[in-house]
Structure formats: C-alpha cells, structure tokens
Amino acid sequence: MRIGIITFPGSLDDVDAARAVRLAGAEPVVLWHADHDLKGVDAVVLPGGFSYGDYLRAGAIAARAPLMQDVVDRARQGMPVLGICNGFQVLCEAGLLPGALTRNSHLHFRNRDQRLRIERADTAWTSAYGTGQEIVVPVKNGEGRYVAAPAELERLEGEGRVAVRYVGGNPNGSLRDIAGVTSEDGRVVGLMPHPEHAVEDLTGPSTDGLGFFTSVLKAVVSA
C-alpha cells in the first residue's frame, strides 16, 4: 500500500509522517506540491509545518497549490486524506473540511504532550481506536484554535463529525475542545495534534499516534 506525503515550501514534518507510514507497514511516497501527479497513491497525508511561511493565512496559499487540485478531486471520490496541524489548516482552506484554524486564544505558541479523546472510531484514520479511548499525542501550534459558526458547530456535533477532542486542558482555545474533525463520509480527517510524533517509545511520549496510520491501511483494503 502506498501513502503519499505532500511537501510544501515550509513543511517540516513530512519526514516524520513518512516514517510513521513506514512503521505502520505502508510505503511512503514523496509528493511535491507543484506537480500534478499523485503517483497512484492509495491515500494522502498533508503534514505539519508552515507552508509558504503561513503568509496571508495559515494554509491559504498551500490550499491552491497545483497538487491540491488533484487531492480535492480524489478526496471527493473517496480517497482517504489526513491533514495534520498545518495540513488541517490546508484542508479547511481547500474546502474539504468545515471551519477554520485561527490564532491561539492566549496568543502563544503551545508545545506539549496532550491528552485526547477519540470521539469517532469509524473513520478511515481512527478505526484502530475505540470510541472514548484516551491517547497522548504532542501538540505544537500557534494557530491551532478551531472555530466555526455556531450553526456549523451544532451541525458537526449533531452529525458526529468531531473526530478527536482535547481532554485535560485545551491548549489553544478551540471551540468545544475540538482537536480534529472529519468529512461526512469519514474519509477525510483534519487533526491539530501530531500523531506522527507519537509512534516510537524512543522519541515520543507514547506510541498512541501510530493507530492513525494503521487505520488507513484497513480502510483502503476494505474500500
């Protein structure tokens, strides 16, 4: 199974995401933002970083990169896509996920190990977990506050599209403690915390993040 990792100018967690994919048992495939070639991958990860220096708005320029046009088309056909941190911002800017990520409410960059609760265990990227399961994954963001209009928040809650929620303290002021959301079909997930930094005991606070990457293998096989 081949999972593409998109690199934008300013990406800094693409190598970490590729390692997580490899540890999960898949083949990571390097994808360049300026190409129009997904290289036949089965799924795509948009990694963390500061694409285009986060000028204009975080993720706004990257969302209009040539390769993102192909990602949007394939995602709407059911290809699994995971956006991590800056990748989550890109997915919102590209219209694949609702809401937006804004400056942290306390106006500081936050970097810490964070407890999370899995709210949806039936998406393409969370099926390795149980509903209500708590995990520990690092967060590191300055513009990680998830916001949406009140009616949109009610719709997300009503449709069960909050995939992951912060517990034990909200690191950035995200409305309703939302750490990640999913598309209507559960194939696209955006996540502000960094599961790729919690895949090995040697380097992370846990190996809890690996489940995001093993989940998609099952999703692709069963599609």
Mean pLDDT by 10 residues, the chain (223 residues): 95 96 98 95 95 76 92 97 96 96 94 97 98 98 95 97 97 98 98 98 95 95 78
pLDDT at site 58? 77
Closest CA to 37 of 9, 75, 70: 70
26: domain CATH number is: 3.40.50.880
Structural domains counted in the chain = 1
Active-site residue numbers? 85, 194, 196
Please report the pLDDT score of residue 5 as a whole number.
98
Question: What pLDDT is recorded for position 182?
Answer: 98
Full domain range(s) for residue 127: 2-222
The predicted pLDDT at position 178 comes to 98
Tokens 């809650």, residue located: 157
pLDDT at 93: 94
Q: What is the pTM of this model?
A: 0.96
List, as one string, the DSSP characters of 21-34: HHHHT-EEEEEETT
